[in-house]
């Protein structure tokens, strides 16, 4: 190792440290043992909704405003649409939940995490994506919703220069 | 042959004393176009995308290289006369021949081939000598190990030996990865320089399974950068491998590694080099492609110069890009050994005072081949080359590949695929490597391999519906014309044989491709199944290697199957200077 690559813990390791949060996300599997933030019940009906706006409304009952305090880390082009690594962190205070939506998936809500008080608001997940889509992360903080969106391209591949 | 040399000198600097020298005197050490005024205290020499072309080649630059959105009309999306005007190059000059497709065939006879590693060695040694000891560094931007039959059969080992003799001190990679991890690591064991890649990480599974990595803490598979003292100052070179290796190529070659542009990790690394290591300059040795580099330069701060490759753009002058921390210069140094980038830096404590950049065409007629390198190249080729020298066909037209949508090389490959595999439609990847062959000059198997030599050459025939074919075309077209460069992969459009269509590059994905028609003029039906042949699939295939299919076809005396031309009608890009008038 050279001197200029210090042994800083990476975000990945930090996320592993927050495994109690990260590991409960199971993509868009319907049995994800996660409770929606808005209430303490498993949001079975929300996971069935097709449309992203409908799902956000059903889950939270309000709309989100885009915020640069929500960091959504996702690849521009997925290496494998079946397992797209994605992570969300935020510098917002009083975070109570983080949810992930894939607009073009058959069901828009992919995962929703309740963030317990005093927990680092950082989650990571792997999304199954059938095709190119916007991915949206919503952070609920102090009763308000904040979002970040990024397009993740799912391509047939090949033909690189 | 002295005529060529005379033309070359006229076309460039033109020294009367050199006129009419006999053939043996070619490559006189005094070729003045390589006299570069001394500047600064550090010289970085940059090669990229040579595609293992050991000997000098003909390579026609594109006449179609369309940029859309913010990329419209700016380098590298200028071709032909628009390019010459932008960079102040005379139309009938040697430089016009090197940098553009203008009057290519006529000029090829006058100015000859470019590149070749023995010629590069002579030029590099000379430029190093001019700058003085401990003031230079030679770097390679990748795609060094692939592109010829020899590199393919030797899995890049030939190029490692050549790189060592040439004195390459650092490199990054793209096609290097398509030999798979084991071969890559074996080759790097023998490479005397450093292989750098800040943007290649272990997958989480591989990290969990304790797969080898340069830095277990970050998961970085390779060393991200090196710091060299050049001209009494500390210069950091960061490597940026091609970000989309597992997408553009079969994932099976790199199952444990994940790539990407990795802007955030790059920014942290640059900050650390500047903050902790107190370097005086930061250079990114990049295989992103020029459009990606231009965007990256606007977002990542603290990089002085991006020495770029991948998109094979020969851009004579750096493009200055402003960002929150200052200005970053972005270059792209062409392909196939045609050019050598010369970056002269005036370094001060903690900063680059000033910069001069030259992208020198490597005119093989003006450079005496280095004897040691010529001997090495001969020795490497000897065991294989006799098998490949058989003349198998003589083309009746110029064969080139590079253009956004089509070229005669790929027309030929598609004709071979359709005929030999009895398919209605053929698809051939839009690679940007592959050399140019002149009309009337015999083609050999070595020439065919120079267009096809990859590690996944298997052909296939499959049934596809018209709708599926359109989806594939749309998907690949978006790799070229997505308005956001980070979503581009840097190749050209897949070539279609037996199929014509219209393309509107400025439209969004899903609405660029229309009016698809078969060779017989009938409209493609969305629901009907068609027999489609192809090669270079990212999925495993079992068919014969494409070079055997093309070789068999040419030996049978056939050449082009039907009308020439692209079969692609462009819409909505009239007047775009990325299309030659």
Alpha helices (H) along B40-170: 80-87, 94-99, 104-111, 117-131, 149-153, 157-166
Tokens of B379: 């020795």
Residue B231 φ/ψ region, left for φ over 0, alpha for ψ in the -120 to 50 degree band, beta for the rest: left
Task: Kindly state whether residues B335 and B210 are assigned to the same domain.
Answer: yes
Number of domains in chain A: 1
The token duo for A125 is: 């997940």
Distance from CA of B4 to the nearest CA of A (A): 32
Residue at B255 is within a domain = yes
User: Which residues in chain A have their CB less than 8 angstroms from residue B227's CB?
Assistant: 2, 4
Tell me, what's the pLDDT at A18? 37
Contact B562, B519 (CB under 8 A): yes
Burial (0-12, 13-18, 19+ Cβ within 10 Å), B382: exposed
Does B105 map to a domain?
Answer: no
pLDDT, one tens digit for every residue, chain B (581 residues): 334 554 665 544 333 333 333 332 344 444 689 999 999 999 999 999 999 999 999 999 999 999 999 999 999 999 999 999 999 999 999 999 999 999 999 999 999 999 999 999 999 999 999 999 999 999 999 999 999 999 999 999 999 999 999 999 999 999 999 999 999 999 999 999 999 999 999 999 999 999 999 999 999 999 999 999 999 999 999 999 999 999 999 999 999 999 999 999 999 999 999 999 999 999 999 999 999 999 999 999 999 999 999 999 999 999 999 999 999 999 999 999 999 999 999 999 999 999 999 999 999 999 999 999 999 999 999 999 999 999 999 999 999 999 999 999 999 999 999 999 999 999 999 999 999 999 999 999 999 999 999 999 999 999 999 999 999 999 999 999 999 999 988 889 999 999 999 999 999 999 999 999 998 889 999 999 999 999 999 888 899 999 999 999 999 988 776 554 458 999 999 999 999 97
User: For position A130, what pLDDT does the model report?
Assistant: 85
Same domain, B326 and B459: no
A133, closest residue in chain B (CA to CA): B509
Given a cut of 50, whether residue A40 has pLDDT beyond it is yes
Do B372 and B420 fall within a single domain? Answer: no
> Does B410 reside within a domain?
yes
* CATH code of the domain covering residue A34: 2.60.40.2470
Q: Does B490 lie at the interface with A, CB-CB under 8 angstroms?
A: yes
Kindly list the residues from chain B whose CB atom is less than 8 angstroms away from the CB atom of residue A159: 248, 429-431, 476, 479, 489, 491-492, 494, 536
Question: Considering the domain boundaries, does residue B73 fall inside one?
Answer: no
pTM: 0.90
* A 74-113 residues inside an 8 A Cβ radius of B: 75-80, 85
CA-based end-to-end distance of chain B: 32
pLDDT tens by residue, B183-207: 999 999 999 999 999 999 999 999 9
Evaluate whether residue A5 is within a structural domain.
Answer: no
B422 and B341 housed in the same domain = no
Tell me if B331 sits within 8 A of B321, measured CB to CB: no
CA B576 to chain centre: 23
pLDDT at B7: 61
DSSP 8-state code for residue B414: H
Query: According to the model, what pLDDT value does residue B566 have?
Result: 54
The answer to whether position A143 is within a domain reads yes
What distance in Å separates the CA atoms of residue B578 and residue B581, rounded to the nearest whole number? 9
**Cα–Cα distance, A116 to B254 (Å, whole number):** 39
Cβ of A161 within 8 Å of Cβ of B246? The answer is no
Taking the CA of residue B375 and the nearest CA in chain A, the distance in Å comes to 31
Which chain B residue has the Cα nearest residue A152?
Answer: B487
Minimal C-alpha gap between B218 and chain A (Å): 6
Rounded distance between C-alpha atoms, residue B252 and residue B413, angstroms:
26
CATH number at residue B564: 3.90.780.10
To which residue do tokens 């340069």 refer?
A: B214
Q: Which of B335, B354, B377 is the last residue of a domain?
A: B377
**Using an 8 Å Cβ cutoff, are B325 and B352 in contact?**
no
Q: How far is B475 from chain A (nearest CA, A)?
A: 6
Judge if B157 and B294 occupy the same domain.
yes
pLDDT at A39: 54
A161: chain B residues, CB-CB within 8 Å: 248, 289, 310-312, 430-433, 489-492
pLDDT at B563: 53
CB B338 within 8 A of CB B98: yes
B:32-91 residues touching chain A, CB 8 A cutoff: none
Residue A161 falls within a domain, yes or no?
no
- pLDDT over threshold 50, residue A28: no
Judge contact between B276 and B267, C-beta under 8 A.
no
Q: Report the C-alpha gap between B454 and B456 in whole angstroms.
A: 6
- What φ, ψ does residue B174 adopt, rounded to 5°? -145, -85
Residues 31-70 of A with CB under 8 A from B: none
CA closest to A10 among chain B residues: B218
Q: Which of B48, B194, B203, B217 to mutate to test the interface with A (most CBs of A within 10 A)?
A: B217
Residue B366: give its domain's CATH number: 3.60.21.10
| Predicted pLDDT at B5 | 54
- Confirm whether B130 is domain-assigned: yes
Verify whether the Cβ–Cβ distance B236 to A158 is below 8 Å: no
Whether B373 and B454 map to the same domain: the answer is no
One domain for residues B265 and B198:
yes
In a shared domain, residues B295 and B169: yes
Count of Cβ atoms closer than 10 Å to residue B439 Cβ: 13
- The neighbour count for residue B506, using CB atoms within 10 Å, is 15
- Whether chain B has a CB inside 8 Å of the CB on A20: the answer is no
Spell out where B145-278 has E strands.
170-171, 194-195, 201-202, 225-230, 233-240, 257-258
- At residue B9, the pLDDT reads 53
Q: Which among B311, B484, B491 has CB closest to A159?
A: B491
CA distances from A12 to B64, B202, B347 (A): 43, 11, 37
Chain B 533-572, residues with CB within 8 Å of chain A CB atoms:
536-538
- Pairwise CA distance, residues B580 & A30, whole Å: 55
SS3 for A76? coil
One domain for residues B182 and B329? yes
Cα–Cα distance measured from residue B403 to residue B393, given in angstroms and rounded to the nearest whole number: 23
Q: B174: cis peptide before it, omega within 30°?
A: no
pLDDT score for B4? 54
* Residues of chain B by 3-state class (helix, strand, coil), percent to 5: 35, 25, 40
Strand-pair category, A122-127 with A84-90? antiparallel
As a whole number of angstroms, the distance between CA B168 and CA B172 comes to 11
Give domain status of residue B525, yes or no: yes
Tell me which chain B residues have a C-beta less than 8 angstroms from the C-beta of A3.
276-277
Question: Does residue B85 sit within a domain?
Answer: no
Bridge partners of B534? B427, B460
Contact A159 B269 (CB under 8 A): no
Structural domain span for residue A105: 11-152
The range of the structural domain enclosing residue B228 comes to 36-57+113-377
Q: Looking at chain A, which residue has its C-alpha nearest residue B203?
A: A85
Give the separation between CA B264 and CA B270, rounded to whole angstroms.
10
Judgement on whether residues B344 and B460 belong to the same structural domain of the protein: no
- Is the domain of B275 the same as that of B338? yes
Residues of B in contact with A1 (CB under 8 A): 214-215
Provide the shortest C-alpha distance from residue A29 to chain B (in Å).
21
CB contact under 8 A, B227 and A79: no
Same structural domain, B4 and B50: no
Residue B107, in any domain of the structure: no
Q: Give the integer Cα–Cα distance in Å for B499 and B576.
A: 25
* CB burial of residue B232 (10 Å; 0-12, 13-18, 19+): exposed
Total residues found in chain B within this entry: 581
B220 part of contact set with chain A, CB < 8 Å: yes
Say which of A6, A79, A85 has its CB closest to residue B246. Answer: A79
Number of domains in chain B: 3
pLDDT value of position B148:
98
- Categorize the per-residue pLDDT at A160 as very low, low, confident or very high, splitting at 50, 70 and 90: very low
Residues of chain B in contact with residue A13, where contact means CB-CB under 8 angstroms, are 217
Torsion of CA B265, B328, B242, B376, to 10 degrees: -120
């Amino acid at each position: 190792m050279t001197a200029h690559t210090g042994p800083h813990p990476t975000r990945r390791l930090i996320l592993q440290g927050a495994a109690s949060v990260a590991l409960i996300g199971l993509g868009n599997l319907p049995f994800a043992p996660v409770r929606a933030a808005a209430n303490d019940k498993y949001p079975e009906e929300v996971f069935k909704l097709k449309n992203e706006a409908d799902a956000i409304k059903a889950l939270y009952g309000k709309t989100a405003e885009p915020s640069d305090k929500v960091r959504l880390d996702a690849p521009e082009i997925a290496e494998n649409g079946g397992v797209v690594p994605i992570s969300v962190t935020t510098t917002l205070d009083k975070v109570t939940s983080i949810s992930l939506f894939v607009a073009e998936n058959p069901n828009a809500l992919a995962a929703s995490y309740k963030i317990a008080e005093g927990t680092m608001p950082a989650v990571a997940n792997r999304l199954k994506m059938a095709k190119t889509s916007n991915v949206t992360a919503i952070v609920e903080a102090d009763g308000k919703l904040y979002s970040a969106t990024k397009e993740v391209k799912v391509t047939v591949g090949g033909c690189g220069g | 042959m002295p005529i060529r040399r005379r033309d070359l000198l006229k076309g460039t600097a033109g020294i009367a004393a050199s006129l009419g020298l006999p053939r043996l005197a070619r490559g006189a050490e005094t070729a003045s176009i390589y006299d570069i005024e001394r500047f600064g205290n550090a010289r970085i020499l940059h090669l990229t995308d040579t595609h293992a072309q050991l000997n000098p080649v003909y390579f026609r630059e594109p006449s179609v290289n369309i940029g859309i959105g913010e990329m419209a009309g700016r380098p590298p999306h200028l071709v032909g006369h628009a390019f010459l005007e932008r960079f102040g190059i005379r139309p009938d000059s040697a430089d016009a021949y090197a940098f553009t497709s203008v009057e290519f065939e006529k000029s090829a006879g006058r100015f000859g081939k470019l590149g070749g590693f023995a010629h590069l060695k002579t030029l590099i040694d000379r430029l190093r000598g001019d700058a003085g000891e401990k003031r230079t560094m030679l770097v390679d931007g990748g795609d060094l190990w692939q592109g010829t039959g020899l590199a393919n059969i030797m899995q890049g080992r030939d190029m490692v030996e050549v790189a060592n003799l040439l004195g390459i001190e650092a490199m990054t990679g793209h096609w290097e990865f398509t030999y798979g991890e084991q071969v890559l690591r074996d080759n790097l064991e023998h490479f005397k320089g450093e292989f750098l890649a800040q943007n290649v990480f272990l997958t989480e599974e591989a990290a969990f399974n304790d797969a080898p990595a340069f830095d277990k803490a970050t998961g970085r598979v390779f060393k991200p950068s090196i710091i060299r003292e050049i001209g009494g100052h500390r210069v950091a070179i960061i490597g940026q491998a091609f970000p989309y290796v597992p997408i553009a190529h079969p994932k099976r070659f790199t199952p444990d590694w994940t790539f990407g542009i990795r802007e955030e990790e790059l920014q942290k690394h640059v900050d650390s080099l500047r903050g902790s290591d107190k370097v005086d300059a930061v250079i990114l040795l990049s295989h992103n492609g020029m459009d990606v580099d231009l965007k990256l330069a606007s977002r990542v701060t603290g990089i002085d110069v991006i020495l770029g490759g991948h998109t094979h753009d020969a851009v004579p002058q750096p493009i200055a890009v402003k960002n929150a921390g200052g200005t970053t210069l972005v270059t792209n140094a062409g392909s196939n050994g045609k050019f050598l980038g010369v970056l002269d830096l005036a370094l001060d404590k903690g900063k680059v005072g000033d910069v001069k950049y030259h992208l020198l065409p490597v005119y093989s007629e003006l450079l005496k081949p280095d004897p040691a390198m010529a001997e090495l190249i001969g020795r490497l080729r000897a065991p294989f080359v006799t098998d490949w020298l058989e003349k198998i066909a003589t083309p009746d037209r110029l064969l080139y590949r590079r253009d956004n949508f089509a070229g005669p090389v790929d027309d030929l490959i598609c004709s071979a695929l359709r005929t030999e595999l009895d398919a209605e439609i053929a698809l051939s990847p839009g690679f940007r490597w592959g050399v140019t062959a002149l009309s009337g000059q015999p083609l050999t198997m070595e020439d065919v391999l120079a267009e096809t030599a990859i590690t996944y050459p298997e052909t296939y025939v499959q049934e596809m519906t018209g709708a599926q074919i359109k989806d594939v075309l749309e998907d690949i077209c978006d790799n070229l014309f997505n308005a956001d460069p980070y979503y581009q992969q840097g190749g050209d459009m897949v070539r279609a044989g037996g199929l014509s269509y219209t393309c509107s590059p400025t439209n969004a994905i899903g609405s660029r491709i229309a009016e698809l028609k078969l060779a017989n003029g009938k409209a493609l039906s969305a629901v009907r199944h068609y027999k489609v042949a192809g090669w270079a699939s990212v999925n495993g295939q079992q068919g014969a290697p494409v070079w055997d299919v093309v070789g068999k076809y040419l030996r049978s005396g056939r050449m082009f199957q039907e009308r020439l031309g692209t079969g692609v009608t462009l819409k909505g890009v009239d007047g775009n200077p990325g299309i030659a008038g």
